[in-house]
Amino acid sequence: MTSILAPLLGGLGLFLLGMALMTDGLKTAAGDALKSILGAWTRTRARGLVAGAFITAAVQSSSAVTVATIGFVNAGLLTLGQAIWVVFGANVGTTMTGWLVSQVGLKLDWGALALPLIGLGMIAGLALKSRPRLGGAAQAVAGFGLFFLGVGLLQQAFSGLAPQIAALNLEEAGIFAIPVFVLVGALLTTLTQSSSAAIAITLSASAGGAVPLPLAAAAVIGANIGTTSTALLATIGATPAARRVAMAHVAFNAVTALAALALLPLLLWASEGVLDGAHLVDDTPGRLAAFHTLFNVLGVLLILPLAPRLTRWLAGLFGTPDEALSRPEFLDSNLLQTPALAVRSLALECWRLHALALDLAAARLAAPGRRSAGPDHRHDALSDLADAIRDFIDRLTQTTLAPQSGKVLADLVRVIQHAEEVLQASAQLQALPAPRTGPALKPAWQAIDDQVRASLAAAADRETFADTAADTEKAFQTLKSALLAALADGSAGLGPVDTGLVRAQVLRRIALSARDGRQRLGDWLNGDNGQS
């Protein structure tokens, strides 16, 4: 038994090591090309699908591509709609491993092929340390050698196990063996964190005919299911958007697996009969590689009509209150066809941004000098909302607008800027220490605080506009004079006075920005959208 177990474990280890070296080496050799492809080739569903398949076939790791895609979504570089098609393409691209194993690894003299590749790759890698991209290519060559060496050892191990496996009479196991082999494939992938390893084991086991084709195909389906574990592990501590991408991976693989199991006889006939007839494959491992490709392509065809609904469903998962703030409530791409309605919706969304910014500023004013322990997600969410409104305005300006609409859009852009000024100033206020108030300064500080609160309340009144600029300036000048007088008579030092002046200026900026934003909104809130 030891003579079989040793090459089995050794072959698996060499295969995994070779896959890791190949993946890392090819990513290093590609440099920024993979990031460029993900960034530029994903603007449509078809391009995202091709990009995912191409990159996965190139780096030989769907897990690496899926985890990278999750990272890009985490960083805001890819949208959910773009990312899910990259993930779907990665599932198609990963089938290249089966073809490599079946058509090269199991057919060539692995010793004669693998050992020179390992030697040449490692020597070239050492010689090219100063040139990372060429060194990465050399590492990938060594990885290919280890890959084929591992496949050869796996084949050797399973050839030794063939009599024992044949004695199990798997041909007569019946339909209940199918779910067992699906589970075996899933467990192998989960344990090795590589669907390629599970598929290589399955292909090697089937090469001698010990495992019947239907059961080996069931294990391949299980490997496809097991690969979702890597994506789920990558979402620990990730953003809701990244978790949605992982769920898209799970959904795709679940749909694909169910379809493959339901159509197993038909897909096996296609991989065995049609491809044999075309002289493309003539053995069980080749048929399994073809089966793997067929059912993943079938998964893409099945998910195609479901993708819009799936994207909407995923968009509602793992939601947070902050994320709800960042999502526009009144903007819809369909409104771009009717500019008058689009401008009206923009006014409502700008009001929402304005009101939310005032609400956050008021909360910060109520807690002077109290800094948040972590990142201010509410502030970030409102910044994202401002960006979403700008994006909608940009798309609207590319349509045919009435002459008066330019005035509306110009005012609404300024409303966004004033809301951002309120956010930035209130954040600065929160970072400043609470003011020192002596008997002479306390009334002046109380007056400007009351005035800023009054300005925020007036700016939050949707029905009427009250110009508070003069009262704000009066309160500011009174406080400024009181601070300078305290410095002159020695009742306050330079440090507190200097900090107090900065705080007073920030308070004035909050009040005036809130007032200016409300003034810019003007009549647009009441339905005058400039289209007349």
Neighbours of 396 (CB within 10 A): 19
**C-alpha–C-alpha distance, residues 114 and 146, integer Å:** 6
Cβ contact 431:371 at 8 Å: yes
Domain 324-367+375-526, CATH number (from 1.10.20, 1.10.8, 3.40.50, 1.20.58): 1.20.58
Query: With pLDDT > 90 as the criterion, what percentage of the chain qualifies?
Result: 17
Cβ contact 226:198 at 8 Å: yes
Least Cα distance to 221 among 270, 291, 156 occurs for 291
**C-alpha–C-alpha distance, residues 510 and 352, integer Å:** 17
**C-alpha–C-alpha distance, residues 378 and 396, integer Å:** 27
**C-alpha–C-alpha distance, residues 251 and 228, integer Å:** 9
pTM tops 0.75, yes or no: no
The residue type of 212 is P
Cβ contact 411:520 at 8 Å: yes
CA dihedral for 118, 119, 120, 123, sign (positive or negative): positive
The answer on pLDDT for 107 being more than 70 is no
**C-alpha–C-alpha distance, residues 245 and 508, integer Å:** 44
> What pLDDT was estimated at residue 155?
61
The answer on pLDDT for 530 being more than 50 is no
User: In the chain, where does the domain assigned CATH 1.20.58 lie?
Assistant: 324-367+375-526
**C-alpha–C-alpha distance, residues 462 and 363, integer Å:** 20
Q: What share of the chain is helix, strand, coil (3-state, %, to 5)?
A: 80, 0, 20
Question: For 456-503, how does the pLDDT look when each residue is reduced to its tens digit (9 = 90+)?
Answer: 999 999 888 889 999 999 999 998 998 888 888 888 888 888 888 999
Question: For 243-268, how does the pLDDT look when each residue is reduced to its tens digit (9 = 90+)?
Answer: 788 888 888 988 999 999 999 989 88
Q: Where are the alpha helices (DSSP H) in 239-376?
A: 240-262, 264-269, 275-277, 284-303, 307-315, 321-326, 339-365
User: Rounded mean pLDDT of 29-42?
Assistant: 61
CA 122 to chain centre: 35
Q: Which of 147-151, 175-179, 198-202, 520-524 is the least confident region? A: 147-151
